Amino acid sequence: MQISDEEETGVGSLVVLPAPPHPDRFFEVRLQLLDKSPGLTAVCAGYELKEWRKQQLAGHLIKWLPEFALTHSELKRLEGPHNAADLIAKAAHTVYMSDKYQKRGEIGELLLHVICREVFKTHPAITKYFYKDSANNTVKGFDAVHVIATETGLELWLGESKFYKEISEAISAAIADLKAHTGRDYMRSEFMVIRNMLDKSWPYADRLEKLIHPNVSLDRYSRRCVSRCC
């Protein structure tokens, strides 16, 4: 059961905006079972001349760096021609300025972001990388915070990514984290972080802030939250 946003927040009906524009779709959906619980979606970069498209994948991910690392306000500034190069460079620097990034989860988190946007047409709610205060900081909390706007309100999508060589290990680790991250104390703490990071210029900022307000019972959140693993 989904509780309408109007019922939870006491505000009027939601204006459903199209998902923000993004680079042309790249991933191929190989399997999608949305009628199962939990659902399953498998995507692949695909092949070209019998070789896996790793170089094309790397180039595609670079195109997503600005949206992944910059705030909504900064992305709006990208619409002008003069500061685009500087902001794109800042996005790359924010994610990759540490020589230890290969041992952390940025690639997995970027992949999760791209897949949610391409396949499920989500709206990214916050970017935690904007708030890093040093090169070696690991950003805590859920790896993706997105929403989907419907006629009945907002669906809050909370994502966890694992970038492993063995898929079975990645799935086990992601499930363990999701179980830990859906406890009351963690959820309350994470919702506080999300509220503090919301860019007020983002169209759904006020709506999401009301949806995850500390006065709203977590029992109601649980019926509107969608967890995704990558």
pLDDT digits (tens, 9 = 90+) for 91-113: 666 665 555 455 556 888 899 99
Pair of tokens at residue 218: 């977590």
Q: Round to whole Å and give the CA distance between 175 and 229.
A: 8
Q: Say what the pTM is.
A: 0.82
Q: Give the H or E element holding residue 44.
A: strand 40-44
pLDDT for position 223: 55
pLDDT-derived band at 116, boundaries 50, 70, 90: very high
Q: How many domains does the chain have?
A: 1
**7-11, 63-67, 207-211: lowest mean pLDDT where?**
7-11
Beta carbons of 223 and 3 less than 8 angstroms apart: yes
pLDDT at 192: 92
Q: What is the pLDDT of residue 52?
A: 95
Q: DSSP for 112-145?
A: HHHHHHHHH--EE---GGGG--STTPPPPS-SEE
Angle (CA) 72 73 75, round 5°: 65
What residue numbers bound the domain in which 25 lies?
A: 5-229
Tokens read off for 165: 């060589």
Per-residue model confidence as pLDDT tens digits over 2-21: 333 544 554 456 777 777 88
Flag the least confident range among 1-5, 6-10, 155-159, 186-190. 1-5
